[in-house]
Amino acid sequence: MKIFISADIEGTSGIQSWDEAERTHADHREFRELMTGEVLAACEGARAAGATEIMIKDAHDSGRNLILERMPPFARIVRGWSGHPDAMMFGIDESFDAALYTGYHSKAGVEDNPLAHTSTLRISRLILNGETASEFTLNALCAARYGVRSVFLSGDEGICADARALVPGIATVETLKGIGAATISLAPASARGAICEGVERALRDRARQALPSMPERVEIIIEFSNPVDAYRASWYPGVRRHGPRAVAFASNDYFEVLRAFR
């Protein structure tokens, strides 16, 4: 069994501040440890369920957060950013049996996590076919384009609820809940235990696994915080202005939507 893991940090248990997610800040050292621990827990659960090969995409910021020395010998790690439109899912293809997500966070425009955003802080809201979308929305549909099911996600309470609404049968572990600028979090050891058990259970319970519904035509609207960014983005072929701070793009090919978004 071949498994793909997309790993972020803003939904890691305990996280609360942007300083903790920033590679150049001293606080990042502790939280890259915690991010690495949750990825390892997912690997252990996958291995217990029969996984023989795991590819891990370090999908936060620089793509250089995971502590490589602690990665299991049966894993391969994608670091940095190739520029490919699959972005946080780069490396996935039709050969994978399932996709897992760790450290995921709520979408821009909601209060479920003090660090809620979608791709970049320059985006105030991302709308896909009329619904506010998260990074997970983009990435689960990316996996589905290859025929790969998204079966497990860990992260804050809001993104877990969104994942369950988008993907029938996905298993989730809620690591934290945002309240204003504060968070209420599981202890990291508890989160790691729940992730390991949740991944193993999700991979064994194939009857519950399903692909999200892939619409025939996808329209994406990107609302920027600054109208200057909307002006710049409006020059991409096929993009149209959608008010003073937003642009829109539509296609029957989801890959073209990802290409336009990147």
What mean pLDDT comes out for the span 64-76? 97
- Whether residue 232 is found in the same domain as residue 146: no
What proportion of the chain, given as a percentage, has pLDDT over 90? Answer: 96
- Whether residue 248 is found in the same domain as residue 169: no
Residue 249 lies in a domain: yes
pLDDT for residue 207 is more than 70: no
Confidence of residue 210 (pLDDT cuts 50, 70, 90): confident
Confidence of residue 208 (pLDDT cuts 50, 70, 90): confident
Final residue belonging to a domain, choices 189, 208, 227: 208
- Whether residue 138 is found in the same domain as residue 102: yes
Give the model's pLDDT for residue 201: 97
pTM above 0.85, yes or no: yes
Do the beta carbons of residue 6 and residue 57 sit within 8 Å?
Answer: yes
What mean pLDDT comes out for the span 231-239? 97
What mean pLDDT comes out for the span 249-257? 98
Domain CATH for 89: 3.40.50.10780
Final residue belonging to a domain, choices 208, 226, 245: 208
pLDDT for residue 186 is more than 70: yes
Listed range (33-47, 129-143, 197-211, 225-239) with the worst mean pLDDT: 197-211
- Whether residue 70 is found in the same domain as residue 177: yes
Quote the number of domains for the chain.
2
Final residue belonging to a domain, choices 184, 208, 232: 208
- Whether residue 163 is found in the same domain as residue 35: yes
Q: Residue 246 sits in which domain range? A: 218-261
pLDDT for residue 175 is more than 90: yes
- Whether residue 171 is found in the same domain as residue 253: no
Give the model's pLDDT for residue 89: 98
- Whether residue 79 is found in the same domain as residue 147: yes
Confidence of residue 129 (pLDDT cuts 50, 70, 90): very high
- Whether residue 193 is found in the same domain as residue 241: no
**pLDDT tens, 2-16?**
999 999 999 999 999
- Whether residue 144 is found in the same domain as residue 255: no
- Whether residue 156 is found in the same domain as residue 81: yes
- Whether residue 169 is found in the same domain as residue 253: no
pLDDT for residue 230 is more than 90: yes
Give the model's pLDDT for residue 206: 74
Residue 80 lies in a domain: yes
Residue 119 lies in a domain: no
- Whether residue 47 is found in the same domain as residue 66: yes
Residue 127 lies in a domain: no
